[in-house]
């Protein structure tokens, strides 16, 4: 029997719609659908990224049965035993050490918003803590914090389709050609329609190659460049004074700080000629409608939140808000990382960005959920090693970790410390679809259905709610994530008896004014709904762009300026460690490769475990060539990988991915955190390189 199932791609935040073509209960291909963002196109992950559902066992075998560690070994058990054991251990730890000794994660991948809603409710209402977070913490948390400060709302202000009608795109620390190929297509369309493209990136990326102006910045100097651009705009009278007067606050103070950043000063920090900075600033300020798009080249630095506020200030300075095809775009990476935030899988807010420390909001959730809730913010997941290994106060230590759809044992910085933390925890639950590095340390494995095997809603990068749909029956003794968490909750004495994802969605909507109008029916009918959508009637079709007419989401309706002193990365090059290392991605693979690593076509495209991109100059100096093995070390660890010489990077700077099980870079990266968002500085640490002679 053949069928075609319309769903949303499970990989990046572009939110492409596709059909899964099913024959006799097996997916045989994916074809593009006419989605709002993708218009009948897909990238290679969309075309070939479904194969893991057929369990080809390339990387590892699909999890098909719950497991409990007995006498040091994970053994298959029935669901009843796995659920009651998990509930019993979590209850014991809660009783012995208190609610805040347990932390849990949401999941930014294909699990859907409903599962994230249930997880944060479980952590808050049943465990009794706000210690719930997800991998937004290691990527775009600075965008959420920074934009919430500047504009009152932490998401993309414009929608993906609007990108192609901007007159200028400032693409900052972001390589859409690799991270969001379908967004990159909109950028190419914008260029074809006459838009100017400015790219700020330390590498000559594919995106930089189509730019009218490429600012090949030195890593770690973003704030100096942003403030120098503002300096030029102010000094040359290119500011939008009426907009500043009517719609912003803090301009005079901002101006004073910006005066300290003339382009000549920034040149010495950023290694970009002052005149090029002037050119970029003039072009940006003079464009009729300009949008700034950024990625992890902005957010994975120790001063990321300041840079996000700085970029928002550039847009305020030039009046680039209020209409279509302008504003700011933190383009979220994973397909549902926006949704994880929307659903409150964050330590400081309930679903719909409602503050956990606000008494009125907390009372609303207490009434709805029938429990007393914690008044204090939870711990961000990047602080787990600190709270497990280094916290001196026994009462504050983390003892148990419920990890749902994440793999901190591969994706987080300074893995030596993370591995020690996983070993030191009294209880680790891993809920996932494949065995992964973290799962190897688990006390309980709860096997879940994957994207393609369950229903739900996810949110793409531009705030668009879209449906994910079940195409095939799960192969194994599996349950949907929301059902597993509900069973653990019920076993702990807090019954959750949801029958389907719609029931969960409706409960979530009833508590979240920003999303209340986005019913399943509306999402089905319209193909997608961008929040805010506050009214259930079909008249409220959601919101294409935020801050209409320059009205921001703060109580006074104004956008806030911000500037501060630039500071260098937390760990810089030294005599012993003379190179910088930045993490990057491989285009055919997604995150820790749990899914794409188990797709035959994608694996065939790039299956070499790990590499390090180095300049031709450095290769010559170290006498290494393409494919040679090289030892890479930082203060925290060592790994061996293969040399990938390239003319696209500057001498002294190197680039690796964390995506492979061997030859990857998170044994080396530094756990230095942005002080506001707690996001690690994955884009900068110091390393040394040693040629391996006996090859």
> Interface residues with ligand SF4 (CB under 6 A)?
9, 11-12, 14-16, 38, 42-43, 45-46, 180-182
266 vs 595, which CB is nearer to ligand SF4?
Answer: 595
- Give the shortest CB-322-to-ligand SF4 separation in angstroms: 29
149 vs 451, which CB is nearer to ligand SF4?
Answer: 451
34 vs 535, which CB is nearer to ligand SF4?
Answer: 34
- Give the shortest CB-227-to-ligand SF4 separation in angstroms: 33
- Give the number of other CB atoms < 10 A from CB of residue 23: 11
CA angle (437, 659, 303) in 5-degree steps = 105
C-alpha span between 160 and 331 (Å, rounded)? 9
- Give the shortest CB-271-to-ligand SF4 separation in angstroms: 32
302 vs 333, which CB is nearer to ligand SF4?
Answer: 333
Listing DSSP states for 168-214 in one string gives EEEEES--HHHH-HHHHHHHHHHHHTT-EEEEE-SS--HHHHT-SEE
Buried b (16+ CB within 10 A) or exposed e, 557-584: ebbbbbbeebeebbbebeeebebbbbbb
190 vs 398, which CB is nearer to ligand SF4?
Answer: 190
- Give the shortest CB-437-to-ligand SF4 separation in angstroms: 23
**Residue 326 backbone dihedrals phi, psi, to 5 degrees:** -150, 180
- Give the shortest CB-594-to-ligand SF4 separation in angstroms: 15
Q: What is the 3-state secondary structure (H, E, C) of 445-508?
A: EEEECCCCCCCEEEECCCCEEEEECCCCCCCCCCECHHHHHHHHHHHCCCCCCCCCHHHHHHHH
- Give the shortest CB-182-to-ligand SF4 separation in angstroms: 4
C-alpha span between 180 and 296 (Å, rounded)? 12
Peptide bond into 532 cis (omega under 30): yes
- Angstrom CA distances, 491 to 82, 87, 91, 373, 486, stand at 11, 6, 10, 20, 9
Note whether 44 and 35 are within 8 A (CB): no
47 vs 89, which CB is nearer to ligand SF4?
Answer: 47
160 vs 285, which CB is nearer to ligand SF4?
Answer: 160
- Give the shortest CB-15-to-ligand SF4 separation in angstroms: 6
- Give the shortest CB-419-to-ligand SF4 separation in angstroms: 30
93 vs 529, which CB is nearer to ligand SF4?
Answer: 529
335 vs 613, which CB is nearer to ligand SF4?
Answer: 335
Q: Is 393 left (phi over 0), alpha (psi -120 to 50) or beta?
A: beta
Token pair of 319, please? Answer: 């009046």
**Residue 403 backbone dihedrals phi, psi, to 5 degrees:** -105, 110
180 vs 203, which CB is nearer to ligand SF4?
Answer: 180
Task: State the first-to-last Cα distance of the chain, in angstroms, to the nearest integer.
Answer: 53
517 vs 588, which CB is nearer to ligand SF4?
Answer: 588
Tell me the β-bridge partners of 580: 653, 686
- Give the shortest CB-48-to-ligand SF4 separation in angstroms: 10
- Give the number of other CB atoms < 10 A from CB of residue 212: 15
User: Sign of the C-alpha dihedral, residues 449, 453, 455, 461?
Assistant: positive
Note whether 59 and 434 are within 8 A (CB): yes
604 vs 638, which CB is nearer to ligand SF4?
Answer: 604
Q: Is 432 helix (H, G, I), strand (E, B) or coil?
A: strand
CA-nearest of 212, 467, 199 to 335 is 467
- Angstrom CA distances, 625 to 655, 664, 686, stand at 16, 19, 22
Residue of this chain nearest to ligand SF4 (CB atom) = 46
- Give the shortest CB-41-to-ligand SF4 separation in angstroms: 8
C-alpha span between 492 and 577 (Å, rounded)? 50
Which helix or strand (DSSP H or E) is residue 5 part of? Answer: strand 2-8
43 vs 665, which CB is nearer to ligand SF4?
Answer: 43
C-alpha span between 545 and 669 (Å, rounded)? 37
- Give the shortest CB-195-to-ligand SF4 separation in angstroms: 20
466 vs 543, which CB is nearer to ligand SF4?
Answer: 466
Listing DSSP states for 265-309 in one string gives HHHHHH-S-HHHHHHHHHHHHHSSSEEEEE-HHHHSSTTHHHHHH
């Amino acid at each position: 029997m053949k069928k075609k199932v319309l769903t949303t791609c499970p990989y990046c935040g572009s939110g492409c719609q596709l059909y899964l073509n099913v024959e006799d209960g097996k997916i045989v291909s994916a074809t593009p659908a006419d989605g709002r963002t993708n218009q009948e196109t897909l990238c290679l992950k969309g075309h070939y990224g479904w194969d893991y559902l057929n369990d080809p066992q390339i990387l590892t075998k699909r999890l098909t049965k719950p497991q409990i560690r007995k006498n040091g070994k994970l053994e298959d058990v029935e669901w009843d035993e796995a659920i009651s054991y998990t509930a019993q251990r979590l209850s014991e730890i809660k009783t012995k050490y208190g609610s805040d000794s347990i932390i849990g994660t949401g999941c930014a991948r294909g699990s859907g918003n409903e599962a994230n809603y249930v997880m944060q409710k479980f952590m808050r209402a049943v465990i009794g803590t706000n210690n719930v977070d997800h991998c937004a913490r290691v990527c775009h948390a600075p965008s959420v914090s920074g934009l919430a400060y500047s504009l009152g709302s932490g998401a993309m202000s414009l929608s993906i389709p609007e990108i192609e009608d901007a007159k200028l795109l400032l693409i900052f620390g972001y390589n859409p050609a690799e991270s969001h190929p379908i967004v990159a297509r909109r950028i190419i369309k914008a260029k074809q329609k006459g838009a100017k493209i400015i790219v700020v990136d330390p590498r000559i990326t594919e995106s930089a190659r189509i730019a009218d102006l490429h600012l090949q910045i030195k890593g770690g100097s973003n704030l100096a460049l942003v403030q120098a651009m503002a300096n030029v705009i102010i000094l040359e009278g290119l500011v939008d004074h009426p907009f500043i007067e009517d719609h912003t606050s803090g301009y005079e103070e901002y101006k004073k700080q910006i005066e300290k950043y003339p382009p000549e000063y920034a040149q010495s920090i950023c290694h970009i000629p002052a005149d090029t900075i002037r050119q970029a600033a003039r072009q940006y300020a003079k464009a009729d409608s300009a949008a700034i798009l950024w990625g992890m080249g902005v957010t994975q630095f120790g001063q990321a939140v300041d840079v996000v506020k700085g970029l928002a200030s550039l847009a305020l300075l030039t009046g680039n808000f209020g209409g279509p095809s302008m504003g700011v775009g933190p383009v979220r990476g994973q397909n549902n990382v926006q949704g994880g935030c929307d659903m409150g899988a964050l330590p400081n807010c309930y679903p719909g960005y409602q503050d956990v420390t606000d008494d009125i909001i907390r009372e609303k959730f207490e009434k709805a959920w029938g429990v007393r809730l914690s008044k204090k913010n939870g711990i961000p997941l990047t602080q787990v090693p600190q709270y497990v290994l280094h916290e001196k106060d026994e009462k504050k230590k983390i003892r148990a970790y419920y990890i749902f759809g994440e793999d901190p044992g591969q994706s987080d910085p300074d893995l030596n410390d993370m591995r020690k933390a996983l070993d030191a925890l009294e209880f680790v639950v891993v809920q996932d679809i494949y065995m992964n590095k973290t799962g190897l340390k688990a006390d309980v494995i709860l096997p879940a259905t994957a994207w393609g095997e369950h229903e739900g809603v996810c949110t793409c990068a531009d705030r668009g709610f879209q449906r994910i749909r079940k195409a095939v029956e799960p192969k194994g003794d599996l349950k949907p994530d929301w059902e597993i968490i509900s069973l653990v909750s019920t076993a702990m004495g807090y019954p959750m008896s949801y029958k389907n994802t719609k029931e969960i969605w409706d409960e979530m909507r009833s508590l979240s004014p920003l999303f209340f109008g986005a019913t399943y029916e509306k999402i089905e009918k319209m193909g997608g709904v961008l929040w805010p959508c506050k009214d259930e009637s079909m008249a409220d079709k959601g919101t294409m762009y935020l801050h209409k007419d320059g009205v921001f989401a703060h109580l006074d309706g104004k956008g806030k300026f911000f500037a501060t002193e630039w500071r260098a990365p937390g760990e810089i090059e030294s005599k012993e460690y003379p190179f910088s290392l930045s993490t990057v991605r491989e285009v055919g693979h997604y995150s820790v490769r749990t899914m794409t690593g188990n797709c035959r076509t994608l694996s065939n495209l790039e299956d070499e475990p790990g590499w390090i991109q180095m300049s031709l100059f450095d290769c010559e100096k170290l006498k290494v060539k393409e494919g040679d093995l090289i030892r890479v070390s930082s203060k925290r660890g060592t790994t061996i990988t293969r040399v990938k010489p390239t003319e696209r990077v500057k001498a002294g700077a190197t680039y690796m991915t964390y995506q492979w099980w061997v030859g990857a870079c998170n044994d080396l990266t530094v756990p230095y955190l942005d002080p506001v968002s707690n996001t690690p500085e994955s884009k900068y640490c110091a390393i040394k390189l040693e040629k391996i002679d006996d090859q």
